[in-house]
Amino acid sequence: MKTFLFLVLTILTLAGCNSNTPPVGNEVSSLSESASGTKNDITGQKILKEATLSLKVNKIDAAVKQVRKELPKYKAQIDEDNRVVYRTMITNTMTIRVPSENFENLMQSLLSISQIKEVTNKSVNTLNIADSYIDIDARLKVKKETEQKYMQLLKQAKNLQETMAIEKQLTETRDEIDALEGQLKNVHKQVTYSTIQLTLNEEVQFSSRFFVDFMNGIRGGWQVFLYLLTLFAYLWVIALAVIVTIVGYRKLRKKK
């Protein structure tokens, strides 16, 4: 029993040491599979691309239509689409996800739509996250090796106590493997797809909104009037009590 527990403790110690050892040169090799099911090249660059693009346009509806027409050409999709209407401006914001290999071409296409009046903001950020990817992949390899050693020990367990102790460590190791695989897939997704935050702005002259705002004001005023009538209906008892009090007070004064 003591020998068996010593083996378990030895595996834990080795796993802890290996997980803290930084990868050197070509000693790191990938045992994990990418989200597409193929091996990841952990020695290459992992570039994360993000862009912010703000455009002033002539007609926002026409501009949105042109943007949507361009996206399928680059296998891009819209994750979020929001519109806000102000008194003098209409703003449409889109979060676009595009395969990284099509990122530059889609940016050029968006900058070429005919409805653009002015490019008010354009920024592109790139970040190489290869170090993070290599670190996660190396830790995943160590955990998978530890899992195999626990499975071998489980076959050698001689009693229930030993079996339960190993199964507990095996469960914890597998939870850590699941978490690391999730992180690896997330990194893969980040570098496979790039993000473009696109904002379209259309300036609106107040004169073009005058009649709309005027009619909205009339409707709003009518609603306020109806609300006051409804409020008076709820307060009629109080109003009646006030009137009776005033009338009674005046009659008493006349008698005096």
Q: Is residue 251 included in any domain, yes or no?
A: yes
88 and 119 fall within a common domain: yes
Q: Is residue 188 included in any domain, yes or no?
A: no
Q: Is residue 183 included in any domain, yes or no?
A: no
Burial 54-66 (b: 16+ CB within 10 A, else e): bbbbeebeebbeb
169 and 198 fall within a common domain: no
Residue 146 burial (C-beta neighbours within 10 Å; 0-12, 13-18, 19+): buried
Domain hosting 37: range is 2-41+133-176
92 and 142 fall within a common domain: no
> Beta 47-57 vs 116-128: how paired, if at all?
antiparallel
Cβ contacts of 180 within 8 Å, gap of 6 or more: 136, 139, 140, 143
Number of domains in the chain: 3
Cβ contacts of 126 within 8 Å, gap of 6 or more: 47, 48, 49, 50
74 and 106 fall within a common domain: yes
141 and 235 fall within a common domain: no
59 and 123 fall within a common domain: yes
122 and 159 fall within a common domain: no
Give the pLDDT confidence of 73-127 residue by residue, as tens digits. Answer: 999 999 999 999 888 899 999 999 999 999 999 999 999 999 999 999 999 998 8
Give the pLDDT confidence of 193-250 residue by residue, as tens digits. Answer: 999 999 999 998 765 565 666 677 787 888 887 777 787 777 777 877 788 888 877 7
61 and 119 fall within a common domain: yes
